Amino acid sequence: MSSPQEAVRPVGPPESLFERYARIRSFSQTLCAHLEIEDFVVQSMPDVSPTRWHLAHVTWFFEKFVLEPHLPGYRVYDEQYHYLFNSYYYTAGQMHARPKRGLLTRPTVSQVLVYRAHVDEAVDKLLDQDDGEEIRKLVTLGLNHEQQHQELMLTDIKHVFSCNPLEPAVNPELTAPPTTAVAPLEFVAGDSGICEIGADGNGFAFDNETPRHTTLLHAHRIASRLVTNAEYREFVRDGGYEDSRLWLSDGWAAVNERDWRRPLYWDEELTSEFTLGGRRDLDPSAPVTHVSYYEADAYARWADCRLPTEAEWEVSANQADTDGNFVESDHWHPIAGEGPQYFGDVWEWTSSAYGAYPGFRPLDGSLGEYNGKFMSNQMTVRGGSCVTSAEHIRASYRSFFYPDARWQFLGIRLAKDGTARSS
């Protein structure tokens, strides 16, 4: 296993698109290696999709958007799959209701794996025939889309397993790293004035990372590291979940309606948490995770701080090393580490609502539904997590969740107004 301080990005000679396709597609099934057949079909809440559905959906994506329009003579594997495994592309056809994906006992897992092999063979044929720019862009988008679903596969099955009283491990071979002390929390002056953010045109980026543009940053300070379990536990013990003054109105309603009293997966004694490796003792030095935007915002108020804007975060993160604790590190959980930990471990809530950049234009056709139509009622998160692929992350990468989301690896970095350095 790699330590969190080691680079986990692929090294060696440049990879062909054919090789990258094979590697990423294979990794999706590698992540399922410890699951039993029964595990593949369970849906524990509407936000969670069964593992089998994820494996089929990313395959449908390649079939629908790459093979159908571009491989001459290609015949759709099964027309019914277009209905079953479409997610939200309304311009591509009707779809099975998301909250009912767990009712799909057919096609079987083995049938989905055959479907994957069929599509993989056809994509190989297409790449042999046409490796032009348009095909390369579509396949690259599909691979980045699959990496997003690899992350979702792990967070979704974690929620499924957490609902089992036996609390089984998704991967019993995962080992918890030894705990280490973290440096005292400091606030470092960030850049102010006119700054640039957004994709710089070097390498792949999703459309919501564009266009690169200028923005005004006011004087601010940003935390030198993430908020830890020990620090968040003090908030809990201090009555943070009972003090309405700390919470946004919708957040306070969620606290009371859903009986939130601690982060998702923590036990009542605040001493252990459920992980992809089963239940473990809470590491006081590790970054807190599985907290909603409402909880992050309330904690920041309690700490007499605020959450950073996504522009503040990106400008600061651009100055940091992008190595970190990603899915390739084989921890599959946030760990105590040295340095700012801008990348990996946990997605970091920002105070910025998810919206379009100035001049944003979605992709043409159905793929324009990928990001743009979700630019409402959600908050932006940055940095990736412990189950994000290392090659998938960059400072400009924006993801987004509803403010009450907790099942993802979501954590907290603090910020303050002003320029003075303080601890």
Q: How confident is the model at residue 136 (pLDDT cuts 50, 70, 90)?
A: very high
Return all residues near 90 (Cβ < 8 A) that are at least 6 apart.
369
Q: Taking residues 61-74, what's their average pLDDT?
A: 96
What is the model's pTM?
0.94
Q: Distance between CA 286 and CA 77 in Å, rounded?
A: 46
Domain encompassing residue 116: 17-162
What pLDDT, on a 0 to 100 scale, did the predictor assign at position 9? 47
Model pLDDT for residues 18-48, shown as the tens digit of each residue: 999 999 999 999 999 999 999 999 999 999 9
Q: What is the pLDDT of residues 145-180, one digit of tens each?
A: 999 999 999 999 999 999 999 999 999 999 887 788
Measured CA distances, 353 to 294, 381, 398 (Å): 13, 9, 11
- 406 lies in some domain: yes
Contact (Cβ atoms closer than 8 angstroms) between residue 37 and residue 52? no
- Whether 356 is in a domain gets the answer yes
Q: What contacts 419, CB < 8 A, 6 or more positions away?
A: 189, 192, 219, 220, 221
Q: Are residues 119 and 257 in the same domain?
A: no
Q: How far apart are alpha carbons 334 and 179 in whole angstroms?
A: 11
First to last CA, the chain: 34
128 lies in the same domain as 220: no
Burial 140-171 (b: 16+ CB within 10 A, else e): ebbbbbbbbbbbbbbbbbbbbbbeeeeeebbb
Asked if pLDDT for residue 7 goes beyond 80, the answer is: no
Q: Are 85 and 161 in contact (CB under 8 A)?
A: no
Q: How many domains does the chain have?
A: 2
* List of residues 6+ apart from 69 with CB closer than 8 A: none
Span 372-387, pLDDT tens digits: 888 889 999 999 999 9
Q: Quick one: pLDDT at residue 80?
A: 97
The answer as to whether 258 is a domain residue is: yes
Q: In terms of domains, do 136 and 233 share one?
A: no
Instruction: For residue range 315-326, list pLDDT tens digits in order.
Output: 999 999 888 999
Cβ-defined contacts of 20-28 (< 8 Å, 24+): 20/143, 21/120, 21/123, 21/124, 21/127, 21/139, 21/143, 22/120, 24/143, 24/146, 24/147, 25/116, 25/120, 25/146, 27/150, 28/54, 28/55, 28/58, 28/146, 28/149, 28/150, 28/153
Q: How far, in Å, CA of 413 to CA of 411, rounded?
A: 7
The predicted model gives 268-289 an average pLDDT of: 97
Distance CA 176, CA 333 (A): 8
240 and 331 fall within a common domain: yes
Same domain, 137 and 192: no
Cα–Cα distance between 117 and 235 in angstroms, integer? 50
Which candidate, 53, 162, 32, 58, places its Cα nearest to that of 105? 53
> Are 309 and 400 contained in the same domain?
yes
Residue 171, in any domain of the structure: no
Is there a single domain that holds both residue 222 and residue 128?
A: no
Instruction: Assess whether 394 and 293 both reside in one domain.
Output: yes
Residue count of the chain: 423
Partners of 228 in beta bridges: 287
- CATH number of the domain to which 130 belongs: 1.20.120
Which residue, 119, 147, 162, sits at the end of a domain?
162
The Cα–Cα gap between 226 and 187 comes to: 11
User: Token pair of 24, please?
Assistant: 């990423």
pLDDT per residue as tens digits for the range 297-336: 999 999 999 999 999 999 999 999 888 999 999 999 999 9
CA distance 49 to 407: 12
Tell me if 352 is assigned to some domain: yes
Last residue of a domain, one of 121, 145, 162: 162
Residues 298 and 339 placed together within one structural domain of the fold: yes
Q: Which has the closest alpha carbon to 236: 258, 249, 222, 255?
A: 255
Residue at token pair 């651009």: 318
Which residues lie across from 109 on neighbouring strands? none
Does residue 231 surpass a pLDDT of 70? yes
Beta-strand runs (E) in 245-290: 272-275, 278-281
Distance (Å, whole) CA 309 – CA 189: 14
Same domain, 273 and 156: no
Instruction: Tell whether 176 is covered by a domain.
Output: no
- Residues 113, 200, single domain; the answer is no
Looking at the fold, whether 120 and 217 belong to one and the same domain comes out as no
pLDDT for 14 equals 82
pLDDT in tens, 394-407: 999 999 999 999 99
CATH code for position 334 = 3.90.1580.10
State whether the Cα torsion 238-336-378-355 is positive or negative: positive
Pairwise CA distance, residues 351 & 348, whole Å: 10
- Specify if 170 maps to a domain: no
Phi and psi (nearest 5°) for 298? -65, -40
Alpha helices (H) along 63-170: 68-70, 79-85, 109-129, 133-162
What pLDDT does residue 422 have? Answer: 40
- Say if 174 falls within a structural domain: no
Query: For position 6, what pLDDT does the model report?
Result: 40
